[in-house]
Structure 1
């Protein structure tokens, strides 16, 4: 952005600091995060690329809001309370002043909604597709972060919210399925990080992960980290009304359930609990001795080639 970079940062992004003292009005090369007594600092980072994580031509405000929300989903799964973030964004030529302003406005709206401050970052230009990365910071009482590791044999595996809306939402955005009320597309474009579940996770969860790549894959990460096996019952999947209607219209129910459980972009939380899961979660399986993830439908074990999205 040439010589206008710093003036644009001041105009678009300085207001998003909310006056946080450690951000220094984005005039320095670094920020300061003061310790919070009795708490651990939780740090997570996710990146998004146009044409990979969102469709080409998506509204810049929606892109910014989804970028923040996918990071907050990681903090939610760790039972952390978000408070700040750092942004790095690479503007392609197609992102002119209006698009950059819309991106900043969308980000600002969600920063305010979720109670975060922008503490710093970087902006550059790129000949490639739009790319952005956000680092989110959160607090959790000392020693209480819920890790992927920790699941125990006999635990109940449960998931929050509804599964499958993300992958069906992408199909709706592409025009591949009907979405008359736009609910599926909205769930894909603007996932809701389950931050309200952090108290329940701190109190009861032995392990947790956010469902971004696909339920089967992300539940499997809990098994791998804890060196245990995961059993999932697809007939128990919690589904939204639009996903239930889609499922009922499919000729191969097992294949359709597998699609919902492996499609990704749900940004729910899958967790292991000692017994009955708390409100907000639905039991979908169990932790067993051994290794790997076993998936069942109508009492039959299903062979799944890929449990979710692979980045490489």
Structure 2
């Protein structure tokens, strides 16, 4: 059986010498040495993905690797940051080399697609979990935050909603075809890094939709000291969602399901069409779904129910 050091050297060390652009010293020493771009601010985020909490333990290993990195990169996208580096810790019950090889393939493939260098990490024994720290760069004063929304601005969302929840429902119903559109949205979410960069000078506030639209809109409103008037009938639903779940459950999935990793933004009315044009170049839609209001709270024809996923709430994902 391979040791953790052998697993790291064989599967989790990056291919480029030194670990990639901006990595002066990478995997194999006590710390990584990074060289940020002069004049930039570092954006740093960390996420832990736990088996059967954030992903099914029986999911394909390459999908688990992709997903663990994608959900962290989504935070950089929401800040308008360019992704640069990541650190990854992997906890395994046993050193299953075939599983690790597939996991690493999924993780490294997304690293390459996103332009991210794996600069270090750790492998240890225990219940299956993946911890990922991502680091990106954003010019000083241009980071998107949750605190910039102003009354009267447009609420808009990239892409489509409900696909993550719809995919989870498909998995729980026994669907294992990873080419299924909804299941793919759940197992292999796509962080909207290009959209974050495109919206950086047009949006006034942003957050990624990870816990559900209502929950994350609530976080944005609280940070900005505003409210929101939502138009649920305007929500862009993931393809096939209504067919799979029915109209009512599809709306519930879009509002509260989570795991979509789209960007929810606020922007002045005059910036809406320029923002749509920029995202069209990325092959992505931007849909207006409401307005920022001065009065606190979220209004609109919102069905009753929990706002979204919360750890320690007693809910089961």
The alpha carbon displacement at 1:23 in A equals 5.8
Question: Structure 1 residue 285 and structure 2 residue 290: aligned?
Answer: yes
Q: In the alignment, what sits opposite 2:114?
A: 114
Q: In the alignment, what sits opposite 2:192?
A: 194
Using the alignment, how far apart are the partners of 2:12 and 2:250 within structure 1?
A: 43
Using the alignment, how far apart are the partners of 2:102 and 2:178 within structure 1?
A: 27
Q: In the alignment, what sits opposite 2:220?
A: 222
Contact 2:162 2:250 in 1 (8 A): no
Structure 1 residues 185-231: Cα deviation after superposition (integer angstroms, max 9, x where no partner): 01111111111212332111110000000011111111000011112
Contact 1:18 1:118 in 2 (8 A): no
Q: In the alignment, what sits opposite 2:162?
A: 164
CA shift in 2, pair 1:88/1:187, >3 Å: same
The alpha carbon displacement at 1:181 in A equals 6.4
Mapping for residues 123-134 of structure 1, pairs under 5 Å: 123-126=123-126, 128=127, 130-134=128-132
Structure 1 residues 242-301: Cα deviation after superposition (integer angstroms, max 9, x where no partner): 124346x44xx4x641332100011000010111522131000111112222232xxxxx
SS at match of 1:138: strand
The alpha carbon displacement at 1:98 in A equals 1.4
Using the alignment, how far apart are the partners of 1:180 and 1:58 within structure 2?
A: 9
Q: In the alignment, what sits opposite 1:35?
A: 36
Contact 2:237 2:254 in 1 (8 A): no
Count of residues paired in the alignment? 299
RMSD value over aligned CA atoms? Answer: 2.2
Contact 1:49 1:131 in 2 (8 A): yes
CA shift in 2, pair 1:98/1:282, >3 Å: same
CA shift in 2, pair 1:267/1:168, >3 Å: same
SS at match of 1:143: coil
Using the alignment, how far apart are the partners of 1:141 and 1:122 within structure 2?
A: 30
Using the alignment, how far apart are the partners of 1:58 and 1:100 within structure 2?
A: 13
Q: Which moved more, 1:16-25 or 1:106-115?
A: 16-25
Using the alignment, how far apart are the partners of 1:9 and 1:23 within structure 2?
A: 19
Using the alignment, how far apart are the partners of 2:28 and 2:91 within structure 1?
A: 20
What is the TM-score normalised by the length of structure 1?
0.89
Gaps spanning 5+ residues in structure 2: where? 277-284, 313-317
